[in-house]
Structure 1
Amino acid sequence: MFVRYIFDVTGQLKAGDNSIEVRFLSPIWISEKLAEEQEQDYVIPPQCVPDSYKGECHVNYLRKIPASFSWDWGPAFPSVGIWKDIYLEGFDLTIIRYVVAEVLEEGENWILSIDTYFAPPREQITGDLVFSLETENEPIRLSNMITLDEPNEFGEVVNTTNITVPKTSVQSWWPNGYGAQPLYTLSVSFAGSTEANTKQIQIGFRKIEIIQDELESGRSFYFKVNDAPIFAMGVNVIPFDILPEKSYNPETVERLLSAVATYTEMNMLRVWGGGVYESDYFYELADKYGLMIWQDFVFASAMYPANDDFLRLKEVNHQVKRIQSHPSLALWGGNNENEGNLASNYFNTADNFDVYKEDYIKLYIETVRDEMRRVTKNANFVDSSPTNGVESDNEGYVAKDPGSSFYGDDHYYSNNKDSFDVDIYPVPRFSSEYGYQSMPCVSSWLAATDNLTDLNINSDFMNHRQHHPDGNDPLKKLTEFQLELPSEDNEFYDEAFIYYTQIIQAMSIKIETEHYRTYMSRLDDQGRGHTMGALFWQLNDVWVAPSWAAIDYTGRWKMLQYFVPGFFSQEIVTGLYNADKNLEIFHILNKAHGDGEKWLNLTVYAWDSFTPVNVTKLSLGNPEALTATSVATIDVDQYLSDAGCGSLDDAKYNCFFHMIVGIGTTTITPPNYFFPSKFKEAKLQTSSLEIIAVDNFDAEGLRFLIAVKAPAPSLFVWLDAHEVKGHFLENGFVQHSIVAAVIFVADEPTTEEQLKGALTVTHVKDAKYFS
């Protein structure tokens, strides 16, 4: 599936009509047949996906999207056929097949190393190879007379040319939030005696390194771009559709990536190893938006054969040549979780460990890694994810504890612990996967069913769509840690349950992310910390179902997506609550943001009033970039009691904290909150909210100002435009003023009357849930 197939049909074509017929075998049938043949030697586990996935078996014997045989977030749709363009290609002697341009730094210059790959010529030919590079000044041109002959030992006809590009003639490409993303057109032309052809690509000038320096305990693990350390803030991407030919819809790709880059300061996407190599347009947009790509090769959560067919993989050669030139391409990963699966005996491989380890090294190190390094000059690579990086290599490529807090990256999931308790979370060097499930909203469910009874958490429909091995139990359990659910005989119970799961998902990932960010520049007493990356799971969905996604299959944003700009801002303030009932307040700064003395306002509100109970202003000075600074530690019960929230025993139920940072009269961080008690124990007011105005303020009918009135401070105020597609600039917010103003951006022209008729608003203690 991941290879470009080229057949010479010169001797087959005839004048007039011709037909091409391509026959496919069932992937389910052929995978079973291959497994039967292999099992004469030893089993390659897992033989099937877990029963809860409701899927098919032996996908690890095929070079096909593993998720197509089902995953915990998607159905089994093992499609068959040609999923990209098929075309005839005509030339007399040769044609340029690939241009791979890599940028190397050399003092005051960039060295642009260009590998031009040709179709094997039918005879020896000589021609003019011309390079033209756009710059900020005059184009740089270079012309070489070359001779193309027999392919090299790898079957390639390739020319390597280096071009010196003064740094003064181009601007550097930066990740989102750190600078601009200038792109320059590189044209490569070859003209022989009878024909000529040209290939163009867009390139950017940047240096991306992975730093794994030795520390007193372990090694660091972080990205450095153009010599600047970067805290990676991002998300994991799964296929844009379970039928991958549909995922190449440019509108889908644009919608998802613009939601990441335009409305948040995320700077990295991890393209997960059980998916597909995304469309060319995906990488073009990543270049444009400054989204660094952590690109897994397509091996995930399984052992794989190391027979001759697998060890002759051509996909590495093709895919690296196809996308390596993109400035957004930051890292290649050999596989997803397979080092950890082997080390932990997840697939019961311990009795034959040496054999499986030998296969692992043959496939991911001697085949995938070595072929990637042969085709590239400066690409970054890690064997797996999670992995201990250099330490895994030192331990023979399968570490005893991949995902150690002292090396490399880590994956963390938990479904049975209080997700608001920061003490459950690890303190890794880099967190490349973590997440919590939630339900899509009611309007999205109704795109998949017109039967409202299907939305009951225990319905056959819901059980079919939920592929988590523990079913919907974790959703209910995690919700009940924090919130009081309405009575199950309440007519709005299903709506409330769906909405509450989105609250829990958004708050859990917010709390976990901010926990990681507080360790950016510090170590704990065990030597854990210097955390420099947080990539949550996951951005998107492949169907309407319970999942870890921030944006559901219909394109609607869950509450999590609305929370991302807050917890992934370059500068934030947050509070961590510890077992001693102390709130430690941190100011976190990724990069320089404003000059001058900064202040932090700590405001206390009671649940029954819009008037602050107490305001304390703290001086922060002018903190340095890449620091997470503890600025205050507060005994919560005593502080709130002294502020006027009640007795020591009751104060935490009556009040909450609001935090914000500013310079002079300007606030410079998103507002943040700390809730000292569980929501179900807090003295929240049961009430209904009211939409009091909807005003269109642009000529196209796309942007609207919505005013929401509340009788008391309200939690997770949720606006829904239902059938009017679009998104709000703020949603799921805490309303601590009588009227809140929110902007809605419609996907297509809409009238005020249409939007008024569609809009609803709710909050945690909506009277309809508890009447």
Structure 2
Amino acid sequence: MSVYRPLDHGWTVTAVAAGSPVERVPATVPGCVHTDLLAAGLIDDPYLDDNEDRLAWIGRTSWRYETEFAFGGPGDVQADLVFEGLDTVATVSLNGVELGATANMHRTYRFPVRDLLRTGGNTLAVDFDSPYAHAERQRAAAGDRPGPYPAPYQFIRKMACNFGWDWGPALVTAGIWRPVGLHTWRIARLAEVRPEITLDGRDGVVRVHVAVERAADVPLTVTAAVAGTVAAASLAAGEHEAVLELRVREPGLWWPRGHGAQARHPLTVTLEQTGETWTRQVGFRSIRLDTSPDAAGSAFTLVVNDEPVFVRGANWIPDDCFPTRTTRDQLAERFAQACEANVNLLRVWGGGLYESDDFYDLADELGLLVFQDFPFACAAYPEEEPLYSEVAAEACEQVVRLAPHPSLALWIGNNENFLGYADWGWEERLEGRTWGAAYYLDVLPGIVSELDPARPYWPGTPYSGDLGRHPNAPEHGTVHIWDVWNERDYLHYATWRPRFVAEFGFQGPPTHATLRRGSSQDPPVSHQKAADGDAKLLRGLGDHLPRPRSFDDWHYLTQLNQARAVTFGIERFRALMPYCMGVIVWQLNDCWPVTSWSVVDGEGRRKPAWYALRRAYADRLLTVQDGDVVMINDSPHPWSGELELVRHSLSGEPLAKEFFPVRVRPRGVTRVPLPVPAEPEAEVLVAVLGEVRVVHFFAEDTAIAFPRAEFEAEVRPVTDGHLVTVTARTVLRDLALFPDRLDQDATVDDMLITLLPGERAVFHVRGSRDLDPAALTSAPVLRCVNDLR
């Protein structure tokens, strides 16, 4: 008998500080103080205007959560209170008796309580100390360590970006952020199940490590079943661990999206004496990281089922500052946006979380590979107690929890901490104090090797594979490319020859509807957290685009420039395949309304950069690089046909045509010379191979005398919105439609389309209400670069 009873009702939260304006309001569990106070009407929305600053007091206050529950269970059962997540510095009490203290957001806590339970009413209380106060005490005890922000986030095992980042607010939370329940059981319980899943030739092999906790020293039997194969193990009285091995003959394999199907099989482990079961959907696949040396340096190639995979990735941050608000449906929407943009991997960044079970289950289902950072980011972390033991305990738990997921491809030790030590002056400031190296080079790889031996580990990113080399050496390992956004024009991406790009990106504002949601000013003002960010947005326009003359111009041009910068970088790195075998754009998503590097904004709306990402990550791509037209075929089939290259005047007249019979092998790259224009500022190239087309201008937009935009537009209502047909009478450069300016729920299927005279584009606008055709087909809703001539 094993019964789990959720304890998610009847909670209240109270500020502990004397004289606090918050006295016992209803609380939602799972949840946090901010969301409880917001629901009670005691605070304004933290995401609007400057409310973030007004609510800083919440993170410096202590809070008490409390509930009552009834218990009437039999006297011979074991009973445990199970907290799946406490955020973060908490003391748990039952009926006035302290059960224990916690200081790690990333751990589960189980407290035996049978002797404390009362028949009838029981009072459960959780007292949360201020995260700031705890971290500041730890800093005082261990000695200061370098970090990018004043907040001492490296001294507490809590989501680092909770304290603010260059894209996120400082909204320091407290609360019971994952489920809590009462678990009653007899005889024994499954304390841990850890499957190791490998391939032996075409056979699948599962070694299931099982640990039990006992209430009685009697013989036990554990069985495991997967894909029609069953194994059993007996545990004699007093034994606590067993290993069951199952061999499955030629199972269907799990593949990353774009490489095959995602076959999954239910693995069930049962403790026969109690009927307790553990079930997960698992996938059979092999995975390794190829870092073989070569003449240029060393590879960094992910190999799945013995097939090299070019990573078309996006970095992932927590999708809400308050993680309990992130539902499975919200994750599914975000994952669909990633898949529709031809993304095949998400990297869970090290300043956030080990994400929810829903996150990894959806990744398994969709074939989205996952790189998982351990939560260390951009700071020197002390290795002394109590942090050292917290890190080890957290890593052991999370490695076991996530190991069954076939989507999980790589464990990464940290984000940018090797770079910080090498380039940010840490060594001098530390004066010999610890900074986390033991975690990344000893503790974490040891835990992964023991508990998840079939999955690769990499000490950090960027990291070049050897402490004797600069961590951001492009010839080895992973690189982060941030000189472009911070200092240089985006054409500088062309000077890089990386083996694998784990971070690069360029800022752009959110959609207009999201700007309006986050700001009550007119024109709306975006939250901008990056140092000198607004100036960098304007500087980044460079010679590519004209200067904005109004807010509407600024919004269109900076969004467009983000899209172009991301496109240029991705196409550049993809053209280096197989020398370069991956690029992970910073970043897929946002957690609130903000100007940032995301392609999907904080309200879940797609920015123009998302449409650019979809094109740049397509299986088959035409791009112009280094005087060549480059054909990239990241599909399992050859790409054959006649490449057509046509030089046009700006009026659309064909000036010259060339045809090349081509065959691009699967997962291959082929080049042909780029035609040379007679007048670069007055010509445009159209390259077509099959259904793939690219329009290339030989000069920057600021050097081209674009005509005033002339076109015909027709709006036709359809069942789910409108079809907008635009027929060009002149060349139209980067035509974009922004229906969210008319209806915040309206979306469009495509964007940033360049048309030559006589060509047409059809936009499918989906929305919740009728839209004015005149507004839908004029500025600022319908825009192109010609508008700014």
Q: Normalized against structure 1, the TM-score is what?
A: 0.84
Q: Which residue of 2 aligns with 1:710?
A: 728
Separation in structure 2 between the aligned mates of residue 615 and residue 693 of structure 1, nearest angstrom: 35
Partner SS state of residue 540, structure 1: coil
Q: Does 1:401 pair with 2:502? A: no
1-side partners of 2:410 and 2:134: how far apart? 33
| Amino acid corresponding to residue 408 of structure 2 in structure 1 | L
CA offset at residue 252 of structure 1?
1.6
> Whole-Å Cα distance in 2 between the matches of residues 65 and 266 of structure 1?
25
Contiguous gaps of at least 5 residues in structure 2: 1-104
Alignment match, 2:363: 286
Once the two structures are superposed, the pairs formed by residues 615-630 of structure 1 within 5 Å of their partners are 615-620=657-662, 622-630=663-671
Cα pair distance change 1:765/1:590, threshold 3 Å: closer
Structure 1 distance, partners of 2:319, 2:486, is 29
| Residue 110 of structure 2 is aligned to residue 6 of structure 1 | yes
C-alpha contact 2:723 2:765 (8 A) present in aligned 1? no
Partner of 1:509 in structure 2?
566
Whether 1:166 aligns to 2:275 is: no
Which of 715-724 and 333-342 deviates more? 715-724
* Identical-residue share of aligned pairs (%): 24
Instruction: Work out which of the residue numbers 431, 444, 451 in structure 1 matches 2:501.
Output: 431
CA drift of 1:759 comes to 7.0
CA distance in 2, matches of 1:94, 1:310: 32
**Structural mapping, 1:254-333, within 5 Å:** 254-261=332-339, 263-312=340-389, 313=391, 314-333=393-412
Q: How much does 1:703 deviate?
A: 6.3
User: Which residue of 1 is the match for residue 538 of structure 2?
Assistant: 476
| 1:728 lines up with 2:785 in the alignment | no
Between 475-484 and 229-238, report the one with greater CA deviation: 475-484
Aligned to 1:644: none
> Is residue 660 of structure 2 the alignment partner of residue 571 of structure 1?
no
Structure 1 residue 508: Cα displacement: 0.8
Cα distance in 2 between the residues matched to 1:288 and 1:158 = 31
Partner of residue 446 from structure 2, selected from 370, 394, 397 = 370
**SS in structure 1 at match of 2:122:** coil
In structure 2, the CA distance between the partners of 1:652 and 1:31, relative to structure 1 (3 Å rule), is: same
Tell me how far apart the structure 2 counterparts of residues 443 and 384 of structure 1 sit (CA, whole Å).
37
Secondary structure of 1:269's match? strand
Alpha carbons of 1:449 and 1:755: their partners in 2 closer, same or farther (altered >3 Å)? farther
- Aligned-partner Cα distance in 1 for 2:524–2:202: 64
Q: Which amino acid aligns with 1:311?
A: Y
The residue aligned with 1:175 is: 256
Work out the CA distance in 1 between the residues paired with 2:776 and 2:179. 41
Are the equivalent residues in 1 in contact too, given 2:494–2:569 (CA < 8 A)?
A: no
- Paired letter, 2:646: T
CA pair 401-15 structure 1, distance change in 2 beyond 3 A: same
* 1:718 CA drift (Å): 1.0
1:518: which partner in 2? 575
The match for 1:191 among 250, 256, 272 is: 272
Alignment of 1:351-750 (within 5 A): 352=430, 355-356=433-434, 359-389=435-465, 392=466, 398-413=467-482, 414-415=484-485, 419-422=489-492, 424-455=494-525, 462=526, 465-487=527-549, 493-521=550-578, 530-577=579-626, 583-594=627-638, 597-609=640-652, 611-620=653-662, 622-634=663-675, 636=676, 640-641=677-678, 651-662=679-690, 667=691, 669=692, 671-687=693-709, 691-696=713-718, 701-702=719-720, 704-722=722-740, 723-725=743-745, 727-736=747-756, 738=758, 740-744=760-764, 746=766, 750=768
How far residue 268 of structure 1 moved from its aligned partner, in angstroms, is 0.9
Q: How far off is 1:141 after superposition? A: 2.2
Q: Which amino acid aligns with 1:538?
A: Q
The worse-fitting range, judged by mean Cα deviation, of 557-566 and 62-71 is 557-566
Provide the C-alpha distance between the structure 1 equivalents of 2:422 and 2:600, rounded to a whole number of angstroms: 34
Q: Distance in 2 between matches of 1:129 and 1:472?
A: 61
Tell me how far 1:350 sits from its aligned partner: 3.0
* Structure 1, 436-445 or 89-98: larger mean CA deviation: 89-98
Alpha-carbon distance change, 148 to 564 in structure 1, aligned in 2, over 3 angstroms: farther
Q: Tell which deviates more after alignment, 107-116 or 753-762.
A: 753-762
Matched residues, number: 678
1:735, distance to aligned residue in structure 2 (A): 2.2
AA at the equivalent of 2:330: T
Give distance in 2, aligned partners of 1:140 and 1:266: 35
CA distance in 1, matches of 2:329, 2:638: 36
In the alignment, is the contact (CA less than 8 A) between 2:508 and 2:597 conserved in 1?
Answer: yes
1:153 matched residue in structure 2 = none
Equivalent residue for 1:525? none
The aligned counterpart of 1:340 is: 419
What does residue 45 of structure 1 align with?
A: 146
* CA–CA separation in structure 1 for the residues paired with 2:354 and 2:218: 34
Q: Equivalents in 2 of 1:717, 1:537: separation in Å?
A: 25
Does the CA-based 8 Å contact 1:404-1:410 persist in structure 2? yes
In 2, Cα distance between equivalents of 1:633 and 1:72: 40
Query: Is the CA contact 1:232–1:532 (under 8 Å) kept in the aligned structure 2?
Result: yes
C-alpha displacement of 1:484: 1.1
Deviation at 1:285, TM superposition (A): 1.0
What is the letter of the counterpart of residue 361 of structure 2?
E
Q: Equivalents in 2 of 1:674, 1:125: separation in Å?
A: 75
Cα deviation digits, residues 560-592 of structure 1 (max 9, x gap): 110122111222121124xxxxx2221222233
The residue type paired with residue 742 of structure 1 is V
Report the residue type matching 1:91 in the other structure.
W
CA deviation profile, 1:742-770 (whole Å, cap 9, x unmatched): 35364x7x466588876764333454x56
SS at match of 1:84: coil
SS of the equivalent of 1:64 reads: coil
Distance change (3 Å), C-alpha of 1:544 and 1:352: closer
Aligned to 1:481, the other structure's residue is in SS state coil
Following superposition, the deviation at residue 728 of structure 1 comes to 2.9
Where does residue 227 of structure 1 map in the other structure?
306
Deviation string, structure 1 residues 38-85 (Cα, Å, up to 9, x no partner): 22xxx3222x61xxxxxx511100000000110000000110111111
Query: C-alpha separation between the residues in 1 aligned to 2:400 and 2:180?
Result: 19
**Tell me, what secondary structure is at the counterpart of 1:453?**
coil
Q: Distance in 1 between matches of 2:110 and 2:774?
A: 56
Deviations 1:219-245 (A, max 9, x none): 111011111111111110011111222
Once the two structures are TM-superposed, the CA of residue 159 in structure 1 deviates from its matched residue by: 2.6
Match 2:280 to one of 182, 194, 201: 201
- Which residue in the other structure is 2:71 paired with? none
User: Which amino acid in structure 2 is aligned with residue 615 of structure 1?
Assistant: K
The 8 Å contact of residues 310 and 363 in structure 1, kept in 2 or not, is answered as no
Mapped partners of 1:423, 1:541: distance in 2 = 24
Residue equivalent to 1:52 = none
- Residue identity in the other structure for 1:94: A
**Structure 1 unaligned spans of 5+:** 50-55, 151-156, 393-397, 456-461, 488-492, 522-529, 578-582, 642-650
